[in-house]
Amino acid sequence: MTESTRAELLAEPGEGGRERLAAFFAARGEPAYRARQVEEWVWERGARSFDEMTNLPAGLREALEAVFSLTPIEPDYTARSRDGTVKHLWRLDDGERVESVLIPTRDRLTLCLSSQAGCALACRFCATGDFGFRRQLRAAEIVAQYRDSLRVAREEMGRPASSPISNVVYMGMGEPLANLDGVIGSLASLHGGFGLGARRITVSTVGLIPGILELARRPEPFELAVSLHAPSHELRLRLMPIEKRYPLPELFDALRTYQSYKNRRISFEYTLIRGVNDDPALAEPLAKLARGLICFVNLIPFNPIPSRPEWGPSSTEGIARFSEALAARGVGNAVRRPRGRDIDAACGQLRLARES
């Protein structure tokens, strides 16, 4: 049976899922606690198959299997960096492949997950953009990356069993706010199903205004990150075609609206490409844009990609100069160390490397 005809339990946290399971068991004359048992397997133990649910009779497990799906995804390839970063390339039911990355720091373990197979936005510095768009991920496929990473975090990375993954960022392949159904559904599962705190989940976007406003209206305090990369229309247009559709002034109006709803700090991502967008003089227009917003800028050295051989990361001194120029204008910022360089951990790079 195909996924489209079975209900994916990973996409149904809370009441909806419970009611559907309750109806399933009631129709078979089973006691009500069976639904609770299944839920425990899904959300607390991260079961990948109904066979694992050993406190349910085998016949019931088969019956569940016919009606429901646990959205199995298969690790096609796993790469482990010397710095502890672990990257997975997952194969989905139709053969599409997406990446997720586990990034350990001293007191955190962050999972970076994918929201689409490929991406339509064609940012010039991004390896995923080179694939073009393949398809949306269903909510359950986004959540399955988390479920299967939990196991790796617990069993291979020695993380506490109670909360192996401390943070989730939607910074893998794809543009989350171009897949609102899938992403909103997955947020509901991570938060309401697996119990991950909304403040520990960051949605990163190129700046799709309708999606930003949709997030603003949600009650949960999910974090928002915006890929900025340039403070002027001309320069941003060179790097990110989306600037044509949602230019900076409109984007920042939307961010002000977002902040009037949420009153939460917004992060900006700024990838520093040598000689392209790292002139410290750009700190001035950037500070002007940010005026009136509570925000923070993450500076990321550009990770070279094969399709842009002419571009390289800014030098250490160049990055420091840019960072200081921002700080001098009152813009809080930090330089993010690249992680997992030896395993092609940057967005889209592993799939690219495995296909070329």
Tokens 């706010």 belong to: 177
Tokens 């001194």 belong to: 317
Q: Please identify which residue in 69, 166, 186, 303 interacts with ligand SAH, judged by CB under 6 A.
A: 303
Task: Tell me whether residue 35 or residue 345 sits nearer to ligand SAH (CB atom).
Answer: 345
Q: Please identify which residue in 126, 140, 150, 289 interacts with ligand SAH, judged by CB under 6 A.
A: 126
Q: Does 110 bind ligand SAH (CB under 6 A)?
A: no
Region binding ligand SAH by CB under 6 A among candidate stretches 45-53, 79-87, 285-293, 300-308: 300-308
Q: Does 175 bind ligand SAH (CB under 6 A)?
A: yes
Q: Does 227 bind ligand SAH (CB under 6 A)?
A: yes
Task: Tell me whether residue 109 or residue 225 sits nearer to ligand SAH (CB atom).
Answer: 225
Task: Tell me whether residue 50 or residue 125 sits nearer to ligand SAH (CB atom).
Answer: 125
> d(Cα 30, Cα 323) in Å, to the nearest integer?
62
Q: Does 171 bind ligand SAH (CB under 6 A)?
A: yes
User: Do residues 201 and 215 make contact, with C-beta atoms less than 8 angstroms apart?
Assistant: no
Q: Is 99 a catalytic residue?
A: yes
Q: Please identify which residue in 24, 90, 125, 322 interacts with ligand SAH, judged by CB under 6 A.
A: 125
**Residue 224 is which amino acid?**
L
> d(Cα 256, Cα 150) in Å, to the nearest integer?
35
Task: Tell me whether residue 41 or residue 302 sits nearer to ligand SAH (CB atom).
Answer: 302
Q: Please identify which residue in 9, 79, 102, 346 interacts with ligand SAH, judged by CB under 6 A.
A: 346
DSSP 315: P
Structure tokens at 315: 């030098």
Q: Please identify which residue in 141, 302, 340, 350 interacts with ligand SAH, judged by CB under 6 A.
A: 302
Q: Dihedral, CA atoms, 35, 41, 46, 50, nearest 10 degrees?
A: -90
Interaction mask 44-73, ligand SAH, x per CB under 6 A: ------------------------------
CB-based contacts of 135: which residues, under 8 Å, 6+ apart? 94, 96, 116, 117, 118
- Which among 7, 1, 10 has a CA at the least distance from the CA of 190? 10
Q: Please identify which residue in 85, 186, 202, 271 interacts with ligand SAH, judged by CB under 6 A.
A: 271
User: Do residues 115 and 144 make contact, with C-beta atoms less than 8 angstroms apart?
Assistant: no
- Closest distance to ligand SAH from the beta carbon of 292 (Å): 22
**Residue 124 is which amino acid?**
R
Catalytic residue among 8, 99, 223, 269: 99
Q: Please identify which residue in 347, 350, 351, 352 interacts with ligand SAH, judged by CB under 6 A.
A: 347
Q: Does 206 bind ligand SAH (CB under 6 A)?
A: yes
The per-residue b/e assignment along 205-230, b for 16 or more CB within 10 angstroms, e otherwise, is: bbbbbebbeebbeeeeebbbbbbbbb
By CB atoms closer than 10 A (0-12, 13-18, 19+), residue 2 is exposed
Task: Tell me whether residue 92 or residue 126 sits nearer to ligand SAH (CB atom).
Answer: 126
> d(Cα 120, Cα 131) in Å, to the nearest integer?
8
- Closest distance to ligand SAH from the beta carbon of 210 (Å): 15
- Closest distance to ligand SAH from the beta carbon of 58 (Å): 43
Q: Does 24 bind ligand SAH (CB under 6 A)?
A: no
- Give the SS3 label for residue 247: coil
- Give the SS3 label for residue 356: coil
Q: Is 175 a catalytic residue?
A: no
Catalytic residue annotation? 99, 347
Interface ranges with ligand SAH (CB under 6 A): 123, 125-126, 171, 175, 204-206, 227, 269, 271, 300, 302-303, 305, 346-347
